Structure 1
């Protein structure tokens, strides 16, 4: 069971927009040293929408190989094409991923039955642990708790990343699932409360920048120590917000560049962080204790 602080890892790129594998290896070692509990490779924060199929599989393979079993690697294999999601999930299994994270089909706006059939088809096709990913603010569709309950009955579907920021979802989902179904938050600003209400950890953007603090805050919350968890999280609250001052992963890639960990490149249609937004993020980084 994968629990705790799981980083939604960015995909670093060179100025020619090709994947920067040297920087990716630096990030992997940084997270292992800082105590990150797991890595999501090529999730939506990893610019999965603009990596072609071969690049997607290559980045997953590289990450799995460099991690070398030291922490779990969850492969981002979601797509708004069910066939493509099956192909990517097969690729991840062949490479040795510990699990897969599958974002809800974006733009298509499927019905709840469509969502059920989409995820069931992938789970039927590939025998690997699979995590649903609900982020309606980006996909324009919402995996409702009733649908999660139906999908949780499939043996290959082991959890959900719930990124609505709606804390009532924790209770609603827990009422509809049995056994060890895992609930991960995808909303950094409400993560501590989510975990305290029964969540098992989070798949975090903020963890890209301050992995040790996020790991320690989540660990305290999972242990039921609300006071310590909130105390660790308090200096990070401005950062949680500032990392979404423009569309993710624009701010987090800029922050990592300022930290000297990656170059500034990002793929169109996303563009580098605007000059106007930089002071807000820089101040939040300083408040969070990040050395720039």
Structure 2
């Protein structure tokens, strides 16, 4: 028996991703004495956009949000907006363990020029799911910007459970998810039942998640190789799954060195960018800089990926 394969003529195209496809979880450059380097941030943002990023996530974990002040966060968003104009979406990390403070940061991000906000699950207090959902709804109600939920239980200690995601999808301003849940089944469950735009937050999952309907990625590795990460998505969109796979697998050594070798992505990204002569600067305590051996390994894997 032959099954019908036709698609109704009224089928609408997939909506455009709310914040672009290839987003970089951008580091926050500092000067050598540890101050915010706004000029460096502008140069880095312009490079990332020119080389394939259509969105930037500022003040996220990779951007050292735990150790930047509220004023520094707002100034960073304003400076990057000035540098990139309308060429890329800006998503500002505003997550804290305090709902009121998160709302304040979200409003300030909007005033500074952000297009949306990234809101992580409240950490340390381990709120139950109803409290998690209430937190996200209050932030979405309080700031007026589109919200990207950030599900990273390995850092926060609390999942946004799939059923909670499905309920939150009914809120008109909760539109996206940065997925670091390492629960591929749960992610597919939400994708199948909601219109939430999922973004792979773990670089090893970029192609796998995109292939089942994600909107794109929020990549730490893109700090160093933005064009390569965008090319994975481009190849898949062009119908060349084999090329997309080759590009994804080619990035594995650098991805492992940057995100899977025991050092935080902030530390490895800054070490590599510094070696490449790009704006980075030191990390802030309690983080410590990468040692020489780790930095040498990062450069070697970067050069191998680029064929140098």
1:263 shift after superposition: 4.2
**DSSP 3-state at the match of 1:283:** helix
Name the residue aligned to 2:256: 241
> 1:17–1:256: structure 2 CA closer, same or farther, 3 Å change rule?
same
Contact 1:37-1:215 within 8 A present in 2 as well: no
1:95 equivalenced with 2:112 (yes/no): yes
In the superposition, the TM-score normalised over structure 2's length comes to 0.89
Contact 1:131-1:158 within 8 A present in 2 as well: yes
Name the residue aligned to 1:13: 30
Structure 1 spans left out of the alignment, 5+ residues: none
| Cα separation, 2, equivalents of 1:96 and 1:247 | 28
1:167 shift after superposition: 2.3
For this pair of structures, how many residues does the alignment match? 289
Name the residue aligned to 2:179: 162
1:229 shift after superposition: 0.8
Correspondent of 2:243 among 214, 228, 246: 228
1:268 equivalenced with 2:285 (yes/no): yes
Contact 1:146-1:176 within 8 A present in 2 as well: no
Name the residue aligned to 2:215: 200
1:57 shift after superposition: 1.0
Flag the structure with larger Rg.
Answer: 2
Name the residue aligned to 1:217: 232
1:185 equivalenced with 2:185 (yes/no): no
1:184 shift after superposition: 0.6
1:174 equivalenced with 2:176 (yes/no): no
| Cα separation, 1, equivalents of 2:307 and 2:139 | 40
Name the residue aligned to 1:129: 146
Correspondent of 2:167 among 131, 137, 150: 150
Correspondent of 2:124 among 107, 110, 117: 107
Name the residue aligned to 2:134: 117
In the superposition, the TM-score normalised over structure 1's length comes to 0.94
| Cα separation, 1, equivalents of 2:217 and 2:295 | 26
Structure 2 spans left out of the alignment, 5+ residues: 1-17
Contact 2:115-2:146 within 8 A present in 1 as well: yes
Superposition CA RMSD, Å = 1.5
